Amino acid sequence: MKIAFIGDIVGSPGRDMLKIYLRRLREEEGIDFVIANYENASHGFGLTAKNCGELFTYGVDVMTGGNHSWDKKDILPLFETHEVLRPHNYPEEVAGTGCRVYDVAGERLAVLNLMGHYGMPYADNVFRCARKSVKCLREDGVENIFIDFHATATSEKRAMMMLLEGEASAIIGTHTHISSDDFQIVQGTAYLSDIGLTGCRDNVIGMDKKVPLTQFLTGMKGHFDVPKKCKKILQIAIMEISCGSCRSAYKLKIFDDNRVIKTDAWVED
């Protein structure tokens, strides 16, 4: 199977990039299944029901979340009616789930959404949750396991890879909105610390620069806003997975001026 992942869609600029490019990418790259992180998709914070339906029409199959999953209250029924996940290590009493299994290209694929600890809301131990969830999936015969690890600290993300290398098919980080340059395949596990945002590329983490600059210069906080006009980017990781292992992987950076930069994941011996 060939799966793709898009992280941190930020506001209407990010949604616009999916509208323009995703259907074409699915066809040109032979993608069977698309996972996308929604947690900044609506005005930069959370997901509305309207934007949820919109993103599915663009070619997304399932969406993952993070610390902003709860920012729009109309998300609660979406957990039951749509393929919308939230971090799995929230307590069991919280609405929704962070793990579902899908039939893709004749194989089963689990999508597991996790959230780190540093700078994040309170949640259960993510490493114990990840280890237990992956173990249960494999015992149930699900070999292909994709993880969106929504976390701030690269040390947490790297540690997750060391914990699950050879057990998960792919571990891709989200949350910082800044793409990292460590895409690799280790013991059949694809790993990338952060895929980076899809949205505005000429501001601060996809947001208008005015408030962040004021905060850094004066210490005075304000509300971050998504710019109405900006230069845009779509960042997508594409992975070929079978029998639990990632065989090959690459990342595309697609700019709104139609430039495309491709980066292949390197394979560790």
Q: Which residues are catalytic?
A: 68
State both tokens at 117. 């600890």
DSSP string, 14-38: HHHHHHHHHHHHHHHHT--EEEEE-
Distance set, CA 5 to CA 114, 199, 218 (Å) = 15, 15, 37
Least Cα distance to 146 among 166, 124, 172 occurs for 172
Instruction: Decide: 31 and 53 in contact? Cβ < 8 Å.
Output: no
74 CB contacts (<8 Å, ≥6 apart)?
Answer: 48, 49
AA letter at 94: V
Instruction: Decide: 202 and 233 in contact? Cβ < 8 Å.
Output: no
The Cα–Cα gap between 64 and 149 comes to 10
